[in-house]
Amino acid sequence: MKLTTPEKNDIASTLQMDSHSKPGRKKRWLWGILVLIALIVFFAAWSKNGKASAIEYKTQAVVRGDLTVVVSPTGTLEPTNEVEVGSELSGIIKEIYVDFNDQVKVGQPLARLDVSKLQAQVTQTKASLESAKAQVLQAQATIEETYNKLQQLEKVRQLSDGKVPSQTEMDEAKAAYSRAKANEASALAAVAEVQAGLDINETDLSKALISSPINGIVLTRKIEVGQTVAASFEAPVLFTLAEDLTQMELHVAVDEADIGQVKEGQSATFTVDAYLDHSYAAQVSQVRYGSSTVDGVVTYETVLTVDNSDLSLRPGMTASAEIVVKKIENAVLVPSAALRFTPPVSEEKKSSGSIINSILPHPPQEEKRQNVSLNNHGQQQVWILKDGQPVAVSVQVGVTNDIQTEILSGELAPETLVITDTITTGK
- Dihedral Cα 9, 11, 17, 22, nearest 10 deg: -150
Indicate whether 92 belongs to any domain: no
CATH number of the domain residue 165 falls in: 1.10.287
Nearest to 413 by CA among 391, 393, 390: 393
Predicted pLDDT of residue 24: 60
Domain match, 128 and 198 both: yes
Residues 178 and 256 in one domain: no
Where does a domain end: 150, 182, 207?
A: 207
Domain span holding position 267: 71-80+246-327
Q: Give the C-alpha separation, 74 to 327, whole Å.
A: 21
Q: Which pLDDT belongs to residue 25?
A: 64
How much is the pLDDT for 348? 44
CATH number for the domain harbouring residue 421? 2.40.420.20
Are residue 61 and residue 76 in the same domain, yes or no? no
Any domain includes 227: no
Q: Pairing between strand 379-386 and 368-369?
A: unpaired
Residue 32 falls inside a structural domain:
no
Bridge partners (DSSP) of residue 63 are 333
Q: Residue 22: inside a domain, yes or no? A: no
pLDDT in tens for each of the 427 residues of the chain?
A: 344 444 444 544 444 444 444 556 667 777 778 777 877 776 665 555 554 456 788 999 999 999 999 999 999 999 999 999 999 999 999 999 999 999 999 999 999 999 999 999 999 999 999 999 999 999 999 999 999 999 999 999 888 888 888 889 999 999 999 999 999 999 999 999 999 999 999 999 999 999 999 999 999 999 999 999 998 777 889 999 999 899 999 999 999 999 999 999 999 999 999 999 999 999 999 999 999 999 999 999 999 999 999 999 999 999 999 999 999 999 999 999 999 998 886 544 444 444 445 444 555 444 444 444 344 455 899 999 998 889 999 999 998 988 999 999 888 889 999 999 988 655 4
Domain with 275 in it: what CATH number? 2.40.30.170
| Residue 144, Cβ density class (10 Å: 0-12 exposed, 13-18 middle, ≥19 buried) | exposed
Per-residue confidence (pLDDT) for residue 368, from 0 to 100: 43
Q: Do residues 417 and 336 share a domain? A: yes
Could you tell me if 144 and 201 lie in one domain?
yes
Residue 21 lies in a domain: no
Both 259 and 291 in one domain: the answer is yes
201 and 178 assigned to the same domain: yes
Q: How many domains does the chain have?
A: 3
User: Is 127 in the same domain as 198?
Assistant: yes
For residues 277 and 353, membership in a common domain is answered with no
What pLDDT sits at residue 55? 79
Decide if 17 is inside a domain.
no
> Is the Cβ–Cβ distance between 122 and 205 less than 8 Å?
yes
pLDDT of residue 49: 53
Of 293, 327, 361, the residue at which a domain comes to its end is 327
Instruction: Say how far residue 48 (Cα) sits from the centre of its chain.
Output: 57
Q: What is the pLDDT of residue 60?
A: 92
Q: How far is CA 188 from CA 118, 140, 405, in A?
A: 26, 10, 85
What pTM was estimated for this model as a whole?
A: 0.64
**Does one domain contain both 252 and 195?**
no
Distance from C-alpha of 333 to C-alpha of 5, rounded to nearest angstrom: 87
Does one domain contain both 362 and 280?
no
284 within a domain of the structure (yes/no): yes
**Could you check whether the bond before residue 165 is cis, i.e. omega within 30 degrees of 0?**
yes
Domain-ending residue, one of 181, 207, 233: 207
Neighbours of 301 (CB within 10 A): 17
- With respect to residue 85, please indicate whether it lies within any of the assigned structural domains: no
Burial 343-381 (b: 16+ CB within 10 A, else e): beeeeeeeeeeeeeeeeeeeeeeeeeeeeeeeeeebebb
| pLDDT reported for residue 389 | 87
